[in-house]
Amino acid sequence: MIDCEQYIPGLASGAQVRKGGEKWTLKNNATKRSILRWIHIVFSIPILGYIYSPFEEIPKYAHATRFVFVPVLLLSGFWMWNGHVLRRLLSKRSA
C-alpha cells in the first residue's frame, strides 16, 4: 500500500491522490499546455515593447530581452511544438 502523504506521481496524466476522503487531481496534459501557452504569451509582451519602443530606450531593455525573455519564449515554444519527442527520448533513456 502506498502512503498518500509521501506519494509523488510520475508523468501519468490525470494522476489522482486520495487523502482523508478528499480527491486531489494533479495537473493533466491540458493544464500543462495552458500554463505553457500563458508563459509564452506573457514573455512575448516585453519583446513587443522592446521592438516598438523608441530607439533611445532600447539599451535599457536589451540584456533582459536577450538573456531572459527570448530564451524562455524559445524554450516554451519548442516544448509546445515538439515536447512529445523530447519526453519520448527521455523515457527511453531512463528505461
Note whether residue 16 is domain-resident: no
By the 10 Å C-beta count (0-12 exposed, 13-18 middle, 19+ buried), 32 is classed as middle
CA distances from 58 to 13, 43, 55 (A): 43, 17, 5
What is the pTM for the complete model shown?
A: 0.60
pLDDT, tens digit (0-9, with 9 covering 90-100), for 17-68: 555 556 555 567 788 888 999 999 999 999 998 889 898 888 888 899 999 9
Q: Name the residue range of residue 72's domain.
A: 28-94
Note whether residue 60 is domain-resident: yes
C-alpha cell at 79: 516544448
Cβ atoms within 10 A of the Cβ of 69, count?
A: 19
Note whether residue 5 is domain-resident: no
pLDDT, tens digit (0-9, with 9 covering 90-100), for 5-25: 555 555 454 555 555 556 555
